[in-house]
Structure 1
Amino acid sequence: MNMFVRVGGVAHHVVVEGAGPVCVLSAGLGMSWFDWDPVVPLLAPHRTVVRFDRPGHGLSAPAAVPPSATGEGHRIAGLLDALSLPGPVTVVGHSIAGFHAEAFARLHPARAAGLVLVDASVEEDARTPAAPALRTAAARGLGALLSAAGAPAALGPAVRRATVRLSRAAGGDPAPAALVRRCYRTSRVLHGTLLENTHYRAVAAELLALRERAPLPPDVPVTVLAAPDGSARWAGRQHALARRLGARYEAVEPSGHLVMLDRPDAVARAVLHARETPRAMPREG
């Protein structure tokens, strides 16, 4: 079922498939709902699978306000409310969306059945940058300048393709060319990506603060799926994240950053086993 629902006054593109307990899939910076395509057939026989585009991504409308950890956590709850899916749900967050998934579980603990963090962003010592309003204005100004120059139409799909190739172990972008053109030729997606990237540090810092005052529910299992790709430093940071959250750690190899494209089986397995995995005592703070 392909639809649009309004959350916070913004039209969000949502795709709902399958039946059973609910899982929500949220992709990383600049990615779209169709980047989960390889995972969905593995989950839909067992789960109600909800995919959505954040504002300024995929087919969703532009963002009304800059992103924040709290806002993104509430966005997932608002999306579930709009779909009449109260939960509890397993939330899968890839890359920057790992921040959002964790925020949801901390802000709405009764609605969280599990977390799967897919090569999630890690910022151990993030600090909120100064002048957020100026940063937002700069992102919007750059987006307007690039759009006026025709950059999205001329370069958007090619940049998307190149980014996906570099982020995979297998290489290549399996997304249909028509969908890539439909999304990435637009100034909307350029603006959305710039805005999220500009406020990345602020969202990370807000999540660190949220960890101090809103513990994860002890009965909610967490899995950290990491794609070290030969990087001992990245593997170490992902291990540290798993220890901090009391999570199960799994190195997914071979895989690049886009684990859902390289190893959809690992993502699906983590979701299907989420309710069966006891969580260790977290080492937060």
Structure 2
Amino acid sequence: MSASLPADGVEQRLISVLGQQIRVDVRWGSGVPLVVCNGIGAALEVLDPLVSALDPDTTVVRFDVPGTGGSPNSPLPYGFPYLAAVLRGVLGKMGVRGQVDVLGLSWGGALAQQFAFQYPLRCRRLILVSTGTGVLMVPGRPRVLRRMLTPRRFLDHRYASRIAGELYGGSVRRDPAVVERLFDRQLMAGSRVGYLHQLLAGSAWTSLFALPLIRQRTLIVAGTDDPVIPVANARLMAHLLPHSTVHLHPGGHIDLIVDAPTLAAVIERFRRA
């Protein structure tokens, strides 16, 4: 833990790891730390509702990938194995020692899977939310996937609100303005180059053949109304992961954030079991 912290126990730094400048936020607590890997294009502030809903004594690590939020662009495109190495370096430089639990939301689920496979001694448990196996997966609806090819929703939050129900499904259909409010939390919007690099990383990666080798206990959380990642992907991952549990809920792609108290309780039970 850092020697001097603000009264709220939150430390935020911009650190250099493997040639990247990464903005990191750590809420220091106790027990096994929880590392949260965010969805494509989203800055770490978008995760505020989840962090607030978790046990306040839990150490929570979140970060902006290159070109997102407060992390500058990567000079070159990257893949998930490299980004997993960056994450390991981030944890080391922030003084997060020993094993961690890794949660990945959507695009961040790919990074979480890669980290668990690449650094099994560092990862105690794996939590995969609204995610799949990468390029080899059951695809979402074509119109929805076309909207995902551009970062416009992160730059124009009113546009994000207009398409939120169609894009994210679940409870957002009833209150699409929640997405505009959520994205307004971001201190800095990501860049188009950063978004492109994230798209490229996802387009060249699959975990389909590696999942049987992941030995960590894994919680798979999926919404039955997710237009981006159909629920069939959760069932596929559960079939391939040898120590997995599936939790299905009636919500959509980002209910981990918009209905954070409900799903945070599921995550807490899994981590304590």
TM-score, reference length from structure 1? 0.74
Percent pairwise identity: 22
- In the alignment, is residue 236 of structure 1 matched against residue 236 of structure 2? no
- Greater strand share, structure number: 2
Q: Alignment partner of 1:90: what SS?
A: strand
1:109 equivalent in structure 2: 120
Q: For 2:135 and 2:20, how far apart are their aligned partners in 1?
A: 32
Q: Which of structures 1 and 2 has the bigger CA Rg?
A: 1
Aligned partner of 2:248: which letter? A
Q: For 1:227 and 1:39, how far apart are their aligned partners in 2?
A: 16
Q: CA RMSD in A?
A: 2.9
Q: For 1:264 and 1:16, how far apart are their aligned partners in 2?
A: 19
Q: For 2:230 and 2:94, how far apart are their aligned partners in 1?
A: 37
Structure 1: gaps spanning 5 or more residues: 127-142, 278-285
CA spacing shift, 1:19–1:163, aligned 2, 3 Å: farther
1:268 equivalent in structure 2: 264
Q: How far is the alpha carbon of 1:158 from its aligned partner?
A: 4.2
Verify the 8 A CA contact 2:34 2:60 in the aligned structure 1: yes
Q: How far is the alpha carbon of 1:29 from its aligned partner?
A: 0.8
Q: How far is the alpha carbon of 1:88 from its aligned partner?
A: 0.6
1:167 equivalent in structure 2: 168
- In the alignment, is residue 249 of structure 1 matched against residue 246 of structure 2? yes
Aligned length: 242
CA spacing shift, 1:87–1:162, aligned 2, 3 Å: farther
Q: For 2:218 and 2:28, how far apart are their aligned partners in 1?
A: 23
1:53-202 mapped onto 2 (5 Å cutoff) = 53-123=64-134, 125=136, 156-162=156-162, 164=164, 166-168=167-169, 169-170=171-172, 171-172=176-177, 173=179, 174-175=181-182, 177=184, 179-180=185-186, 182-184=187-189, 188-202=190-204
Q: Deviations over 1:88-137 (max 9, x none)?
A: 111110111111101111111111111111101334737xxxxxxxxxxx
Q: How far is the alpha carbon of 1:75 from its aligned partner?
A: 2.1
CA spacing shift, 1:159–1:53, aligned 2, 3 Å: farther
Aligned partner of 1:271: which letter? I
Verify the 8 A CA contact 1:90 1:274 in the aligned structure 2: no
Structure 2: gaps spanning 5 or more residues: 1-10, 138-149
Aligned partner of 1:199: which letter? A
Q: How far is the alpha carbon of 1:261 from its aligned partner?
A: 1.9
1:33 equivalent in structure 2: 44
Q: Deviations over 1:26-82 (max 9, x none)?
A: 111111101111111222523101110100111111113323121122222111111
Q: How far is the alpha carbon of 1:161 from its aligned partner?
A: 4.6
